[in-house]
Structure 1
């Protein structure tokens, strides 16, 4: 049958020559030569296969004629058929932990292993000979790809592997980041490990983007650290940073939902070895889900039960994983680029108990939990702490406060407190009705009124114009619902009382006037160049006075000039891209703002010093916190 195309070509050439069509015969000749070459190659392969077959008719285990495909007693040779897995695998505790009679307290065993220097060879289960099987991520890795269909035991394998590493290495040598893109609970219990630096497990793409950005920032930080110490591998440093193991479950979902971010993990796989960063990617189907560049760096391949023999062959070089019975969860073939081992993965009997013992060992060793690498996105509500001004340390030369916290800011990776500077010019609060402008000003009034060294003037629209109230008793600002005055200020805390007593005085012994601040709501009419209200003149004069800081709220920037009228802006986005761009919000930040963010009261953008940072303003109607 293999020579049928060649015979047809020869017949065609003969007919054309008989009819004198020499040109057509020459056109068919190259095809005939190709058929001859194909037959010769096929014959050569058959000869090699016969030379590799022993006297008993069985192959010696070589796949390409150059090296055996498997080695060791637990290896599964492709030509021998699927391996025979042990019917039962004992719990992981029986394989890796001491006998309870010899050591009843597991946490003490964990402490001893940590003090002994740690170990990266983790016990994952048993081999075909029922002996404990160990896999060394640093020596055989540094990265791994795990594949298996639903119910094959992927999640249990990841859980066992991470716990085995955590039992052998303290948080000062090992940390984890868990990314689960299927919305399951694979890493819920592992997230309580003292080694965990962050977990994404609820299909929150915004949270996942933050995690990937944090990983990229951590990669750059480690590259800078290696350059600063002049080393090519961080492990040779006297005090290297802990290794970071990134565990990704359902990698194919990441590729489908965030394809632009896959390159970040690819870069980690390419340079992570020398920087102490390891990647364990898990997917249901390895075919086409991992690009060639990443696949070249994933030295360890673990294939549990799959549906297609081609998937198994692509990952471990043998088709046997497709023949694993559904009744054999945890059965897998593992390769590190050399041998292919048949392994029955073990499960941890009581994950919660083991996590608790690891935490107890960390507390005994006085090891603090790993610092979070990233945080969740901005919450919808941030409770106000009117006593937060006590914690500010920004004071000018006279000792008067220069910072007042007002919101929670988001730099794209982590959250931190956002504060307004009271010594760098006026501040504009821009936004439509119901967005939180008045709530923000009310919160600032209550907070500033109890800060020592502040002279507060409040201007608000009344029935017959604008009402002016010098700071005497704050708390008459409308609440978040506009139904009436907000709560009165809390009584001064002991720290406030001490700071008031220590307020600076002038050379003649009189108390200094302090910092002068104006709070003006609905200032659009006052900023109109055609305004005739006397308050408009007073407001303009105060805005030009370098000794006065004016915080004013407006609906639009029509009558506001930047930076003449304000150096800092708090802009509440409207959701209309063109209008938000006109308000000064950068286009790249608008692209990251969620569709529902403009509908969240208090969600704004802080524009200062050429930077734009999303913030969630403190809720103005939350109960005050007193100290």
Structure 2
């Protein structure tokens, strides 16, 4: 490295000599400051050893943990091999029946101060409330990032019950890191990069949860969420491979920036893990990431980004789990502790939750709409009572799924879509729901019409068309009609509620009433799925999957 930095200096010295030989003194004087700067850089790069400092050769670093000493770029040395590598179970004080220890911890006041490993002098604890509220973890492949995240989350779960702490896991490494932790009663969401639609729902749900907590705190005029009479559980958002999330869902990074900016007072914490911290976290987000944990990285610049110097680049590959923690006050070296049996630890936490009789925590978001929804079992018939709403499938508000229903007394309903998209099947589902209560037919207050394009033609003067138009104008009758085109459909004269099956032609779908923001979220999979439609009621619209 020193020789590489000396090359520009040598070139500039030669340039100065040539210019002096040619009598170009003015140009030579212009090059002199640059040469002086290169000389200073070379002198700084020379590895001057202080008295008593041990030099680490590459052969010694590759020799393994035994007797390994690492330079810390501050004139001292760190012996990671001398740090005890106790398991998380040992640090948490688990006995022969760990669930009893966990229950004992849950009965104490809530705290996010948990052990993560060991230092040269004892246990290393980290408190996200006091030192955080957010953390950035960096390390190259094989440095121990995923093990650190697992140990950290399990220690937090063993210290706090699900009524005090919840987890949302975003794993952009195929879902392997948090698959076992999904069983924890604290987990309210777990997604991976194999389903980007699901991951996008998670980020929208996090933004909605942030807004909900803001309104909750404002309603009680509270400066902090903990000042509420019944504060919601703290929410821990854990992201593995943050750089992959940024690359695949760049439009959603702003939601994470909001969490980093406002999360402290709202009880929301962010732990982002990445292989290369350079340029991955923008300035607004980095300003709120008070805890920086750097495991082994490939070059000194990555270490400098988190620690202020290149010490983490000197950690040898033979010491996975060795790390430095910069909390803004000091930089501490520690050895991460692993979990002896992740599955057993999760089972013990679940057992403790059952012993406490905790109420299950609802999921923060659900999976996207399925490609097929089966018809539900028919409810028991109630004599001659028209139902208030008719069920026909599942609705999706972008975060959670719910029953899709049509109001019986809310006005006419228009079903718009091309042939083969599911219009007739939808009418059959509605007829099946109506038949339970003995309604349907020409004399009923709900009438169903399929292939009503010709009936809506204003030039059609036959009796059937006239009867159809009379039914549309009758406020005592709810008409549900299906057409293949919205050409003759007038809103709100003909219908107030619409179910539109998108065709993929943007102009036609916009004319049918599909909002542009919802239309931009539809992919080819939605267009190819039979029964996938948009329910439009007034100014509100949502995606639905009709039952078959």
Q: Does 1:572 align with 2:481?
A: no
Matches within 5 A, 1:92-241: 92-100=88-96, 105-129=97-121, 131-241=122-232
Deviation of the 1:76 alpha carbon: 7.2
* Separation in structure 1 between the aligned mates of residue 331 and residue 304 of structure 2, nearest angstrom: 11
On the 8 A contact 1:110/1:361 being kept in 2, the answer is yes
RMSD over equivalenced CA pairs, Å: 3.2
Of 229-238 and 418-427, more deviation after overlay is shown by 229-238
Aligned to 1:406: 392
* Separation in structure 1 between the aligned mates of residue 504 and residue 43 of structure 2, nearest angstrom: 69
* Residues 562, 5 of structure 1: alpha-carbon distance in 2 compared, 3 angstrom cutoff: same
Deviation of the 1:229 alpha carbon: 2.1
Matches within 5 A, 1:601-620: 601-619=530-548
Aligned to 1:550: 479
The 3-state SS of whatever aligns with 1:212 is helix
Cα deviations by residue, 1:44-83 (Å, 9 ceiling, x for unpaired): 999xx99xx98x4769xxxxxxxxxxxxxx9974222453
The 3-state SS of whatever aligns with 2:524 is coil
On the 8 A contact 1:76/1:340 being kept in 2, the answer is no
On the 8 A contact 1:389/1:447 being kept in 2, the answer is no
* Separation in structure 2 between the aligned mates of residue 350 and residue 45 of structure 1, nearest angstrom: 47
* Separation in structure 1 between the aligned mates of residue 91 and residue 42 of structure 2, nearest angstrom: 50
TM-score, normalization by structure 1: 0.76
* Separation in structure 2 between the aligned mates of residue 411 and residue 255 of structure 1, nearest angstrom: 24
Deviation of the 1:409 alpha carbon: 0.9
* Residues 13, 318 of structure 1: alpha-carbon distance in 2 compared, 3 angstrom cutoff: closer
Q: Which has the larger radius of gyration?
A: 1
Deviation of the 1:323 alpha carbon: 3.0
Q: Does 1:456 align with 2:440?
A: yes
* Separation in structure 2 between the aligned mates of residue 567 and residue 226 of structure 1, nearest angstrom: 37
Aligned to 1:83: 79
Matches within 5 A, 1:418-437: 418-437=404-423
The 3-state SS of whatever aligns with 1:210 is helix
Cα deviations by residue, 1:190-234 (Å, 9 ceiling, x for unpaired): 111111111112521111111111111111222222222223222
Aligned to 1:291: 282
Aligned to 2:345: 354
On the 8 A contact 2:72/2:311 being kept in 1, the answer is no
* Separation in structure 2 between the aligned mates of residue 251 and residue 233 of structure 1, nearest angstrom: 28
The 3-state SS of whatever aligns with 1:297 is coil
On the 8 A contact 1:519/1:550 being kept in 2, the answer is yes
* Separation in structure 2 between the aligned mates of residue 251 and residue 390 of structure 1, nearest angstrom: 53
Q: Does 1:559 align with 2:488?
A: yes
Matches within 5 A, 1:132-531: 132-387=123-378, 400-451=386-437, 455-457=439-441, 516-531=445-460
* Residues 42, 571 of structure 1: alpha-carbon distance in 2 compared, 3 angstrom cutoff: closer
Cα deviations by residue, 1:307-353 (Å, 9 ceiling, x for unpaired): 22221222223433333333322222222123222222122122222
* Residues 389, 319 of structure 1: alpha-carbon distance in 2 compared, 3 angstrom cutoff: farther
TM-score, normalization by structure 2: 0.87
* Separation in structure 2 between the aligned mates of residue 233 and residue 584 of structure 1, nearest angstrom: 42
Aligned to 2:58: none
* Residues 390, 259 of structure 1: alpha-carbon distance in 2 compared, 3 angstrom cutoff: farther
* Residues 39, 581 of structure 1: alpha-carbon distance in 2 compared, 3 angstrom cutoff: closer
* Separation in structure 2 between the aligned mates of residue 4 and residue 564 of structure 1, nearest angstrom: 83
Aligned to 1:511: none
Of 525-534 and 421-430, more deviation after overlay is shown by 525-534
* Residues 543, 11 of structure 1: alpha-carbon distance in 2 compared, 3 angstrom cutoff: closer
Cα deviations by residue, 1:426-459 (Å, 9 ceiling, x for unpaired): 11111111111111111111110112xx63116x
The 3-state SS of whatever aligns with 1:382 is coil
* Separation in structure 2 between the aligned mates of residue 42 and residue 281 of structure 1, nearest angstrom: 34
On the 8 A contact 2:72/2:312 being kept in 1, the answer is no
On the 8 A contact 2:381/2:436 being kept in 1, the answer is no
Deviation of the 1:559 alpha carbon: 2.2
Of 160-169 and 223-232, more deviation after overlay is shown by 223-232
* Separation in structure 2 between the aligned mates of residue 43 and residue 574 of structure 1, nearest angstrom: 66
On the 8 A contact 1:125/1:132 being kept in 2, the answer is yes
Aligned residue pairs, count: 524
Return 5+ residue gaps in structure 2 as ranges.
1-5, 55-68
* Residues 390, 274 of structure 1: alpha-carbon distance in 2 compared, 3 angstrom cutoff: farther
The 3-state SS of whatever aligns with 1:145 is strand
* Residues 35, 550 of structure 1: alpha-carbon distance in 2 compared, 3 angstrom cutoff: closer
Cα deviations by residue, 1:96-116 (Å, 9 ceiling, x for unpaired): 12332xxxx221211111111
Aligned to 1:585: 514
* Separation in structure 2 between the aligned mates of residue 554 and residue 43 of structure 1, nearest angstrom: 79
The 3-state SS of whatever aligns with 2:535 is strand
